[in-house]
Structure 1
């Protein structure tokens, strides 16, 4: 009964950091680096608790699950959290005495940590099922390496290897369970964020459809009267004031057009179109603007890139993203546009610039209502672009680094 209680205690040490992080930290801490530091500390405390209260078999045999916090901390945190947790294991293990178990711990960590770090990048970019498989395989590998070296150090006898074999099976099963749990919690958290965002966008969409037309009518009348007042014999100062008023009304009209585009619940008139042809059209349309901004566009477009979409709306989305890329380079530069097909059935459009870049927080806010990095921007253009891509059952990924540039990756379902 005592052994079962110790096993349950080990499982509790795994659950506490998971629920603490996803219940309290993700909602309250906005900065990704701070979240990663807190998560690493939580896994570190879990490691210390697991090592402090192991499952004891007889007099010398000890079983604990420090491998699971180490693996999860490294896979979800990255290289430095992995190094920190490994160093913590070694330093805390010294307090139990330097013996064969200590040497085995050091050897296993030296061999396992590079393996975990190696798979960390592919883990971060993989889908949910593959992430679970990677975590389970790494846990199995860690325990197998420990079992092998313990056999080398102590001898391959039943007496010494029974507990490590139990540890291998138990750790592998528990890793699978907790990997599934973490991925399920992450998925629910992501869905909740998307639902909150969708609800905000739905409300804005309904309001804009109602009010945009009512605002546009008096604006058109105002613009007409201003044009009538703009007579040739007016003083230059008054002509300047009228011209500024007309320009501001035109700018307000553009914002209303964005509102109306966003307020449309769906995009009809879809057809089979060639992405390569549409990209080339967009480049030709925006060519004069790039020349004025001292920006050069380079394209690499593959053949047979077909999707089902509305060409005008797709062009609108691409032009918005391209304009942002060009405007992010006040001193000029290069914009690359590539179009390829992926193995999982998508057309991949990449728009990359050499602009000022964005922080992680700015990337997360991109496409949100009224969020713009430009002084005179409303954020509606990018918001509409995101909505258009989603309406084609596509998705947008944004990678950026401050001072280096930004890469937009647009994935759209491919058709033959």
Structure 2
């Protein structure tokens, strides 16, 4: 038995080495999601082929490998497509490695179907919760096998089954820890780059915004005086357009100043349910003008710490973006509920044009906008406001199907 366990440890080293290569050399790169998934699948395929072609031999009738690890990781970090692609690769590899194909297909069909809800549950938790979820899921398999072997009276094989399963589980936990830890570091690095960009924008805004605003105010005043003169219709139109463009420039400057302005006001207890309702009421007429219907489902008595006007600014900005993404004759769904003891979630979902993965990654960065005349500063300010409150904005979107903004805010404890 000890020789078999030593062989299993060699498998563990190979799998960990393969995962580390992927994380260090591939996962940190800025690439399209499809490219990331294809590379992740390639590494899972390497693990599958190796572990199934070099199984640990316990007896003439009993072999053990780590294919369950590759399948679980494929679903957890690759998604459904990578998961089922790994399942297909498992069957093909099983065919060429003299495994009982029908038994293999039956067992892992059930295994993969169970992984679908487990994957959804897995991503709701932080690291500790993720490890607990996957441990409970995986250990249910060897426990049922162990009970079956005990009924047959095979004590020796039961001991090996449980010990080998513990090695596999430990490997799975280490891999999840490595992936989650490195993903967190990547996020921190991206957040640092984002903070540096915001710092540059803030310094620029603070140094030049006031100097630009003063001459613009003077120019606008003279334009308004000229409107009172006896001018042709065409000249009146030119002046009106000039004033509108000056006002738009003024709004951009205000957004720059919002980035540069340090947060000095004290947070207060805010009735979030009331603020959401007020924001919807403000934007409802704008939505109706574009033939857009707003559906709302907001829980009562949602309380947070923050600044009422800034929260309202975030909500109005996101709802306005949703209306503009739909263009006309669409629908916006707004829901707000307490998701846990710590956080309240607000979802603003539309059925508009949607966005690609590349657009979602850039969204919220200064100077980037999907709108023709947008500056990207509106969402940049929104991200900053929510972050200062200890919250987070999560964006999910699919091209030509719509976008969902989820705003997580800490609740009053």
Task: Assess same fold via TM > 0.5.
Answer: yes
| Change over 3 Å in CA distance of 1:169–1:203 after alignment to 2 | same
The answer to whether the Cα contact below 8 Å between 1:108 and 1:146 also exists between their aligned partners in 2 is no
What are the superposed Cα offsets for residues 206-251 of structure 1, whole Å, 9 maximum, x if unpaired?
A: 2212121121122122222333333422333333222222111111
Rounded Cα–Cα distance in structure 1 between residues aligned with 2:60 and 2:379: 65
| The one of 381, 384, 387 aligned to 1:390 | 387
Rounded Cα–Cα distance in structure 2 between residues aligned with 1:108 and 1:290: 52
Rounded Cα–Cα distance in structure 1 between residues aligned with 2:28 and 2:208: 34
1:323 Cα deviation from its structure 2 partner: 0.8
Q: Does 1:137 align with 2:136?
A: yes
The residue aligned with 2:116 is 117
The residue aligned with 1:94 is 95
More divergent stretch after superposition (189-198 vs 288-297)? 288-297
1:168 Cα deviation from its structure 2 partner: 1.6
The residue aligned with 1:65 is 66
| The one of 280, 283, 292 aligned to 1:283 | 280
More divergent stretch after superposition (262-271 vs 119-128)? 262-271
The residue aligned with 2:26 is 25
| The one of 229, 242, 246 aligned to 2:243 | 246
SS in 1 for 2:28: helix
More divergent stretch after superposition (107-116 vs 313-322)? 107-116
Rounded Cα–Cα distance in structure 1 between residues aligned with 2:386 and 2:217: 31
The residue aligned with 2:405 is 408
1:29 Cα deviation from its structure 2 partner: 5.0
The residue aligned with 1:352 is 349
Rounded Cα–Cα distance in structure 2 between residues aligned with 1:162 and 1:168: 10
The residue aligned with 1:213 is 210
How many residues are paired up? 412
- 1:17-416 superposed matches below 5 A: 17-56=18-57, 62-98=63-99, 105-144=104-143, 156-158=153-155, 160-266=157-263, 268-415=265-412
Rounded Cα–Cα distance in structure 2 between residues aligned with 1:196 and 1:322: 27
The answer to whether the Cα contact below 8 Å between 1:104 and 1:146 also exists between their aligned partners in 2 is no
Rounded Cα–Cα distance in structure 1 between residues aligned with 2:278 and 2:61: 74
1:402 Cα deviation from its structure 2 partner: 2.4
The answer to whether the Cα contact below 8 Å between 2:53 and 2:97 also exists between their aligned partners in 1 is no
More divergent stretch after superposition (104-113 vs 19-28)? 104-113
| Change over 3 Å in CA distance of 1:314–1:29 after alignment to 2 | closer
The answer to whether the Cα contact below 8 Å between 2:364 and 2:376 also exists between their aligned partners in 1 is yes
SS in 1 for 2:163: helix
More divergent stretch after superposition (378-387 vs 349-358)? 349-358
Query: What runs of 5+ residues in structure 2 fail to find an aligned partner?
Result: none
CA-atom RMSD in angstroms: 2.7
SS in 1 for 2:270: strand
SS in 2 for 1:335: strand
SS in 2 for 1:199: helix
The answer to whether the Cα contact below 8 Å between 1:17 and 1:39 also exists between their aligned partners in 2 is no
Rounded Cα–Cα distance in structure 2 between residues aligned with 1:217 and 1:165: 76
What are the superposed Cα offsets for residues 259-304 of structure 1, whole Å, 9 maximum, x if unpaired?
A: 1111123251432221222223223333432232222333333321
| Change over 3 Å in CA distance of 1:17–1:142 after alignment to 2 | farther
Query: What runs of 5+ residues in structure 1 fail to find an aligned partner?
Result: none
More divergent stretch after superposition (373-382 vs 132-141)? 132-141
More divergent stretch after superposition (61-70 vs 350-359)? 61-70
Rounded Cα–Cα distance in structure 2 between residues aligned with 1:251 and 1:115: 53
1:104 Cα deviation from its structure 2 partner: 5.4
SS in 2 for 1:13: helix
